[in-house]
Amino acid sequence: MTETEVGAVRVRAARTRDVTAMVELMEPLVARRILRGMDLVELYGAVPEFLVAVDREDRVIGYGAVHVMWEQLGEVRTLGVSEGWLGRGVGHRLLEALEHRAGELGLDQLFCLTFEVDFFERHGFEAVGEDERLVAADVYAELLRSHDEGVAEFLDLARVKPNTLGNTRMLKRLRP
């Protein structure tokens, strides 16, 4: 991924040394149950999926990941911005960069599970009905084999519902 600079904020691929700063920014959102907490081992393993927004001093001020779920399907995960940078376009820049990355990976659709419905709607995501099947039956059967909580959330499995109350499942088609 090439680095992009807009104003005082740059979006780049995450590095292992960014994880500590990402955790510090995530903690208040996890405490408020806006984000699902991740163990450090999980975060380090997911570093290649993450992009970070950094200020001029290369301090992490935002983060987000795109996770491949299936051949043409991915998920925007763990998108967050430092409270001091909210409302300044950092989340928009990160999401646009994540969508670009998804396109580079060959994904046609992006899923998210979010409380920030308006934000994602402004980026072309649409809410998905509770009973709406989002993939073909054969793909659904394969996805059921996954141990990934994000896949379970995508499939709207009963076992994750207690942890996702109030969240909205959303989907965006990147290519017609």
pLDDT band at 33 (very low <50, low <70, confident <90, very high): confident
Q: Integer distance in angstroms from the first to the last C-alpha of the chain?
A: 24
Helix (H, G, I), strand (E, B) or coil at 145: coil
pLDDT band at 47 (very low <50, low <70, confident <90, very high): very high
pTM across the whole model? 0.83
Give the pLDDT confidence score for residue 37 in this predicted structure. Answer: 82
- Please tell me what DSSP assigns to residue 87: T
7: left (phi over 0), alpha (psi -120 to 50) or beta: left
Q: Indicate whether 168 pLDDT > 50.
A: yes
**Alpha carbon distance 143, 124 (integer Å):** 25
**Alpha carbon distance 97, 4 (integer Å):** 9
Element at 73 (helix H, strand E): strand 73-81
**Alpha carbon distance 57, 116 (integer Å):** 28
pLDDT band at 141 (very low <50, low <70, confident <90, very high): low
The residue whose two tokens read 């084999």 is 145
What average pLDDT does the structure give for the chain? 84
**Alpha carbon distance 60, 53 (integer Å):** 6
Is 86 within 8 Å of 93 (Cβ atoms)?
no
Closest CA to 123 of 114, 132, 131: 114
Report pLDDT digits (tens) over 67-104. Answer: 998 888 899 999 999 999 999 999 999 999 999 999 99
The mean pLDDT value for 108-118 works out to 91
Give the pLDDT confidence score for residue 157 in this predicted structure. Answer: 56
